[in-house]
Chain A
Amino acid sequence: MIKNGTRLTSQVCDTQVIVVKTADSLDDLRCGGAPRVAIGADRSGADVDPAFAGDSVMGKRYVDEGGAEVLVTKAGAGTLSVGARH
């Protein structure tokens, strides 16, 4: 399971998040349709999946139904999702 405080980046847009409250669901956290990676890791640089192009909002806390929570520390064009669900 990802640790609280872990910083993650999107592979396909500028979005960065920090894990405020972790849960197993975050193992499949995606942004812009693509799995997120650790900051500094290689990024695919592919295009944002049009189905997941609804922007991430700077400073917003996103919560899933399992209680996991991430905070957007850099905004981007991709939508955050767990798996393929919005």
Chain B
Amino acid sequence: MSISLLLEMAVSSDPDRLAVVSGDLRLTSGQLSELADGGASVIAASGAEHVVYVGTGGVYLPLLMFSSARAGVAFTPLNYRLSAEGVMSLIGRLPNPLLIVDSRYRDMVAGTARQVIDAQEFLAAARTVEPAVGFPDPEGVAVVLFTSGTTARPKAVELSHNNLTSYITGTVEFDSAEAGDVALICVPPYHIAGVGAALSNLYAGRKMVYLPSFDAHEWVRLIGEEGITTATVVPTMLDRIVTVLERDKVELPTLRNLAYGGSKVGLPLVRKALELLPDVGFVNAYGLTETSSTIAVLTPDDHRNALGVADAAVAKRLGSVGRPVPGIEVQIRDDDGNVVGPGEAGELYVRGEQVSGRYTGVGSVLDAQGWFATKDIATLDAEGYLFITGRSDDTIIRGGENIAPAELEDVLIEHPDVHEVAVVGVEDPQWGQSIVAVVVPVAGITPDREELREHVRKSLRGSRTPDQVVFRDQLPTNGTGKILRRELAEGLRPATAER
């Protein structure tokens, strides 16, 4: 099934439903579909084999994704926050691409020999050309996304039409949104969550309002102005929103659901958000680019049940990513590849129609039975709730002992002086790696290093006590709030050498 068919279904159900609001532009599903036909025609005329978009998104994400699908070529939204050099090197890995660029990023691609169209000109052309109606191959690649490359060279993940539509039809009920439902979308277009949001809201029949450049005040204002009922944020956004809600004492009466994900959220922040928004249903969504977005969900009921409950196993679930979505199977395997039982840590493997596991230039990395190795260390509890403790690449090996940074982070974040924390391993002549806790203190407080070490020592084994505690004003993150651990560890090397 092609993603284009999702749009056809939305049009067939109600062509006059307002589907996308992006700045001054308001499009019904019928208008979006007509523009996508026009866009397909512009793409086909260019002779390109791939469409690349560099920009902040908004209407351009759904428009270019569907235009590309109908032109039968793959689409790649790129991270506009990268350097010009970074963008050009990624473009160089894609076959004969047509570049569609927001005017403010035009300089980034100035040196290219490729065809470049200004995004607004593309939109204007799509309105006027003779539309083309193509039928993409459902097995073909719909979207290619580059991984963020926080630990290695970015990989080009190929998501087929079937991967994406399996995810949508498996997790979203068609036209299930109520008449007044409105989603506020502020996740970036180059992130799988941006792709997922455009497809799932369209399929659910929910109006989408785009906020391309996130700002917490603007986010709060739009909730009121557009009557937003649903929103999705990454952890850094949630942190800023909570700060505004606390300070300005604003209420969000229309908001019913708030989903967060993209990277781990500290529990004190989740609790505070639940407290500030008692009528909002919180959803923690976990997924990877390679799995076409969400593969596990902690539901609103899971959140509320875990809050203030005496049963420790249930309370702990506030820190879990919930249970697998329909159509996804999960396994935890130990270092020898054996499947382990509840409570035992190992690498998370997943399987299902929405799982791609294909990279350009590499091919499929699924094993013979179709399982994908996520490189995430995880455990399942007895009820099937999934807990992610971090990337296997981030594991610290100190004196031969494997230490998951999340273990220490989960303890440190609960200290009242700690606002944010990342624990990393840095090279150490004696231990191989030593443990460094990088702490962003609560504003106006200078915590006592020894007290923080003692705080960890009380909860965890002695070998898990940070060797060093350093303070920072902020942690380096990418656009979706993922902590850049490698960068952080590299910056710490000289400090360790001095010791």
Contact = CB atoms under 8 A, between A and B. Distances in A.
Contacts of B173: 59
A5 B139 CA distance: 9
A43 interface: no
Contact of A59 (B1, B138, B162, B174): B174
Contact of B9 (A5, A20, A59, A61): A59
Interface residues of A, number: 12
A31 B170 CA distance: 24
A18 B4 CA distance: 13
Main secondary structure of the interface of B (DSSP, over half): helix
Interface in A61-86: 61, 71, 73-75
B36 to A, nearest CB: 17
Contacts of A59: 9, 13, 173-175, 203
Contacts of A20: 1, 169
B1 A58 contact: no
B1 A18 contact: yes
B13 A18 contact: no
Interface in B160-212: 162, 169, 173-175, 203
Contacts of A7: 5
Interface string A44-61: 000000000000001111
A74 B11 CA distance: 10
Contacts of A74: 8-9, 12
Contact of B169 (A58, A61, A75): A61
Contacts of A73: 5, 8-9, 12
B407 to A, nearest CB: 41
A41 B7 CA distance: 23
Interface residues of B, number: 14
Contacts of A18: 1, 5
B352 to A, nearest CB: 13
Contacts of B203: 59
Given A73-B9, A75-B12, A5 B162 contact: yes
B64 to A, nearest CB: 23
Given A5-B1, A5-B138, A18-B1, A58 B8 contact: no
A71 B172 CA distance: 13
A58 B174 contact: yes
A58 B175 contact: yes
B5 A60 contact: no
A58 B12 contact: yes
Contacts of B139: 5
B138 A58 contact: no
Interface centre among B5, B139, B162, B173 (most CB of A within 10 A): B5
A18 B3 CA distance: 13
Given A5-B139, A71-B169, A73-B5, 8 more contacts: A5-B138, A5-B162, A18-B1, A20-B169, A58-B174, A59-B173, A60-B174, A73-B8
Interface of B: 1, 5, 8-9, 12-13, 138-139, 162, 169, 173-175, 203
Nearest 5 pairs between A and B by C-beta? A59-B174, A5-B138, A74-B12, A58-B13, A18-B1
23 contacts: A5-B1, A5-B139, A5-B162, A7-B5, A18-B1, A18-B5, A20-B169, A58-B12, A58-B13, A58-B175, A59-B9, A59-B13, A59-B174, A59-B175, A59-B203, A60-B174, A61-B169, A71-B1, A71-B169, A73-B5, A73-B9, A75-B12, A75-B13
